[in-house]
Amino acid sequence: SLRRVRYRHAMITAVDSTILLDALDPGSVSHLLARRALHRAGQHGRLVASDPVWAEVRARFSAPHAFASAIADVGVEFDGLGRSSAFDAGRIWRLFRHSAGRRERIPVDFLVGAHALGQADRLLTYPRGFFRRYFRSLRLMEL
């Protein structure tokens, strides 16, 4: 279990599904890197996962209790997408659609980015240009 240190003004770190999946899979090449990153982020406050991250990670487990135990072990809490964050996801996705062509369904990364932007202080993720490009004011903690 990852240990938490309480701070007066605790930082909230939203965690991307790729980090969680690696942290929960001992066979992953990035397992230890992801676990260490979660530990570092957790020392400064809460670790949270949005609805799409929660669902994607849950899908990897056959039993609900196995998922609950694994997610508790890394100290990540569920934090649902709020109205304002959902609004921002739609707004930013609309800009994307105008520049990249028409799509019918919103890609999950827009929901993850908007959740982190509106409901957390930063997003723990792997380096990818997507979040830097579409969520420029989002603080990233990249591995």
pLDDT digits (tens, 9 = 90+) for 104-130: 656 889 899 999 999 999 999 998 788
Q: What is the pLDDT of residue 96?
A: 78
Closest CA to 17 of 34, 36, 42: 34
Q: What is the pLDDT of residue 89?
A: 84
The region that residue 124 occupies, defined by phi over 0 for left and psi between -120 and 50 for alpha, beta otherwise, is beta
What is the distance between the alpha carbons of residues 38 and 130, in angstroms, rounded to a whole number? 21
- The residues, any chain, with a CB within 8 Å of residue 20's CB and separated by 6 or more, are 34, 49, 53, 57, 71, 74, 76
Q: What is the pLDDT of residue 5?
A: 52
Cβ count within 10 A of residue 80: 13
Residue 143 tokens read as 């591995």
What is the distance between the alpha carbons of residues 115 and 111, in angstroms, rounded to a whole number? 6
11-142 sits in which CATH class?
Answer: alpha beta
pLDDT digits (tens, 9 = 90+) for 11-60: 999 999 999 999 999 999 999 999 999 999 999 999 999 999 999 999 99
What is the distance between the alpha carbons of residues 121 and 105, in angstroms, rounded to a whole number? 27
Position with higher pLDDT, 3 vs 132? 132
**In the chain, domain spans:** 11-142
pTM: 0.85
Q: What is the pLDDT of residue 6?
A: 53
pLDDT digits (tens, 9 = 90+) for 72-107: 999 999 999 989 888 888 888 787 776 666 666 568
The interaxial angle of helices 108-119 and 83-100, nearest 10 deg, is 130
